[in-house]
Amino acid sequence: MTSKRPTILVTNDDGITAPGIQALVEVMKEIGEVVVVAPDSPQSGMGHAITINHPLRLDKVEYHGEVLGYQSSGTPVDCVKLAIDKILHRKPDLLVSGINHGSNSSINVIYSGTMSAAMEGGIEGIPSIGFSLGHYSMDADFGPSKKYVKEISEMVLKHGLPDDTLLNVNIPYLKKGEIKGIKVCRQAIAKWQEEFDERMDPNRRKYYWLTGKFENFDNGEDTDEWALANGYVSVVPVQFDFTAHHAISHLNKWKFNV
Amino acid sequence: MTSKRPTILVTNDDGITAPGIQALVEVMKEIGEVVVVAPDSPQSGMGHAITINHPLRLDKVEYHGEVLGYQSSGTPVDCVKLAIDKILHRKPDLLVSGINHGSNSSINVIYSGTMSAAMEGGIEGIPSIGFSLGHYSMDADFGPSKKYVKEISEMVLKHGLPDDTLLNVNIPYLKKGEIKGIKVCRQAIAKWQEEFDERMDPNRRKYYWLTGKFENFDNGEDTDEWALANGYVSVVPVQFDFTAHHAISHLNKWKFNV
């Protein structure tokens, strides 16, 4: 007789071959039955994009031994939708996305394909977590992050999450023993100051690369940026009701003349 | 001597040639100096995608007479960033996105390129509004929506918006005189039940089209879905702090063992 292990859907936005998702799969194999459905190529910055105007591919791939693996030509959100409808035929017990190569703290939650996949899981009522490591390199060491990924995932499986929420977890890029612990935080008020790098192609036509400078306007010690700068793993509960409820009474004072 | 007219940045996600953006430009020309920076092709469902792994094009195009027009190979969010950094060299007084061909009420705010462009404006501190019409056709009649677009835009220019918010405006597809008025609302709790249409290509490889059924779980009479179903223009104030603040104290009860 086997005890029932949870079904865990794993996805990401760096693509199915990225070291970050492999680290995540290794941790999840210790907790449950793992199904990987991830993009066949990098999809960073895809936000909550879905593919409407093109058909999607979905192909079974050889992955880590006992793990069922699929790659799709779609976005991270497409992968979640395909996994539920075409592979699992039901909702998994947990959805984890990542581990992203690079932080998704503060305003980055909006641009991140990793977080959008987790948000799609949340919309579906699946306990969902996005994990990101504060280092962009493909050679980054995911070792020290693993015990935090495992602990937070097990907590979510055990307790569930408040209705209509998901978690945005960021792990500072520190050596083993240097991480001080886990802090529940709010999203810091921050933005990117965009600066496009303008170049000329061989045909004398201009083109632009998006670059930018990150600006944190938030001095609060209860933010994800503060936690990460001070050596903590940040856990931000995220919602997909985007209503600015506090602004409704303000707008109701306007007298429309139509 | 000329009185100072506001600078208005216009963008969308259906592409610069869509009838919806042309209707929006016609209205904005009555209010201020218009600059259009929009995608060179349809970008529906792009969410808050940004282009990191490819360079972007940005080309001046002939548009409506006195209107300055540019098209970009990027996403709606890219267009906003490019407009500020490379064309206006400052922030416009108002950003309007749309008019989208199809509703962006309730959960659609998350998937919508139209709304993401408006959200990017909000992040930049620009009073920003996304407009959508409840009809998908390229032949849809934008006539009846124009006076609402104008009234709401002028209100935002006059009063500004509460800090860190933007507006999601949806207009029901009704004939002139059938629209009952404007209602300030919250985002209804709803989702898409995804169903992929599975087909076989000429090489006997499967491919999938995303389809879906919209499900509204919300019986509230203060929601955008209620307003639209009852003949009102819905105005939802939207925020880009995604923190589920109410969930923080709940999560703080968890005892992490790391």
Evaluate whether residue B225 is within a structural domain.
Answer: yes
Cβ-Cβ contacts under 8 Å between A and B: the total is 229
| Range with the poorest average pLDDT among A94-98, B148-152, B180-184, B254-258 | B254-258
Residue B200 at interface with chain A, using a CB cutoff of 8 Å: no
Q: What is the SS3 assignment for B246?
A: helix
Give the helix ranges, DSSP H, for chain A: 19-29, 76-82, 108-111, 113-123, 146-159, 224-229, 245-251
Distance from CA of B54 to the nearest CA of A (A): 7
CA–CA distance, B125 with B248 (Å, rounded to integer): 27
Residue B199 at interface with chain A, using a CB cutoff of 8 Å: yes
Evaluate whether residue A204 is within a structural domain.
Answer: no
The helix (run of H) or strand (run of E) holding residue B94 is: strand B94-101
pLDDT at residue B176, rounded to an integer = 86
Least CB–CB distance from A85: residue in B55, B86, B195: B195
Cβ neighbours of residue B23 closer than 8 Å, sequence gap 6 or more? B99, B142, B143, B145, B146, B149
**Which B residues 90-119 touch A at CB under 8 Å?**
107, 109-111, 116, 119
What is the predicted ipTM? 0.92
pLDDT digits (tens, 9 = 90+) for B196-245: 999 999 999 999 998 889 999 999 999 999 999 999 999 999 999 999 99
Least CB–CB distance from A257: residue in B42, B151, B247: B151
- Give A-chain residues touching B82 at CB under 8 angstroms: 196, 208
Q: What is the domain extent for residue A14?
A: 7-189+221-241
pLDDT at residue A3, rounded to an integer = 60
CA–CA distance, B258 with B243 (Å, rounded to integer): 24
Evaluate whether residue B194 is within a structural domain.
Answer: no
CA–CA distance, A253 with B237 (Å, rounded to integer): 13
Optimal mutation site among B88, B210, B216, B250, interface A, most CBs of chain A within 10 A: B210
For residues A20 and A26, the answer to whether their CB atoms sit within 8 Å is no
Cis peptide before B99 (omega within 30 of 0): yes
Residue A246 at interface with chain B, using a CB cutoff of 8 Å: yes
Q: Do B50 and A111 touch (CB under 8 A)?
A: yes
For A134-137, the CB contacts below 8 A with 24+ separation are: A134/A102, A134/A103, A134/A105, A134/A170, A134/A171, A134/A172, A134/A173, A134/A228, A135/A101, A135/A102, A135/A173, A136/A101, A136/A102, A137/A101
> Domains in chain B: how many in total?
1
Least CB–CB distance from A159: residue in B78, B209, B254: B254
The CATH number of whichever domain residue A93 belongs to comes to 3.40.1210.10
Tens of pLDDT, residue by residue, chain A (258 residues): 456 899 999 999 999 999 999 999 999 999 999 999 999 998 877 777 888 888 899 999 988 777 899 999 999 999 999 999 999 999 999 999 999 999 999 999 999 999 999 999 999 999 999 999 999 888 999 999 999 999 999 999 999 999 999 999 999 999 989 999 999 999 999 999 888 999 999 999 999 998 889 999 999 999 999 999 999 999 999 999 999 999 999 999 999 988
CA–CA distance, A152 with A170 (Å, rounded to integer): 11
Evaluate whether residue A182 is within a structural domain.
Answer: yes
Evaluate whether residue A198 is within a structural domain.
Answer: no
Q: Do B186 and A123 touch (CB under 8 A)?
A: no
DSSP result, A187-251 = ---EEEEEEEEEEE-TTS-EEEEEEEEEEE----TTBHHHHHHTTEEEEEEEES--B-HHHHHHH
pLDDT digits (tens, 9 = 90+) for B132-150: 999 988 899 999 999 999 9
Angle between helices B19-29 and B146-159 (to 10 degrees): 50
CA–CA distance, A225 with A238 (Å, rounded to integer): 15
Evaluate whether residue A71 is within a structural domain.
Answer: yes
Evaluate whether residue A236 is within a structural domain.
Answer: yes
Mean per-residue pLDDT of chain B: 93
Q: Do B47 and A52 touch (CB under 8 A)?
A: no
For A14, the token pair is: 């760096």
**Confidence tier at B50 by pLDDT (50, 70, 90):** confident
**Which B residues 30-89 touch A at CB under 8 Å?**
42, 44-53, 55-58, 77-78, 81-82, 84-86
Chain Cα centroid distance, residue A181: 20
Count the alpha carbons within 13 Å of B4 in the hemisphere toward its beta carbon. Answer: 4
Q: Do A55 and B198 touch (CB under 8 A)?
A: no
Distance from CA of A57 to the nearest CA of B (A): 5
- Give A-chain residues touching B124 at CB under 8 angstroms: 191
**Confidence tier at B107 by pLDDT (50, 70, 90):** very high
**Confidence tier at B45 by pLDDT (50, 70, 90):** confident
Evaluate whether residue A85 is within a structural domain.
Answer: yes
pLDDT at residue B52, rounded to an integer = 82
How far, in Å, are A200, A227, B84, B93 from residue B175 at the CA level?
Answer: 49, 54, 37, 31
Q: Residue B48: pLDDT above 80? A: no
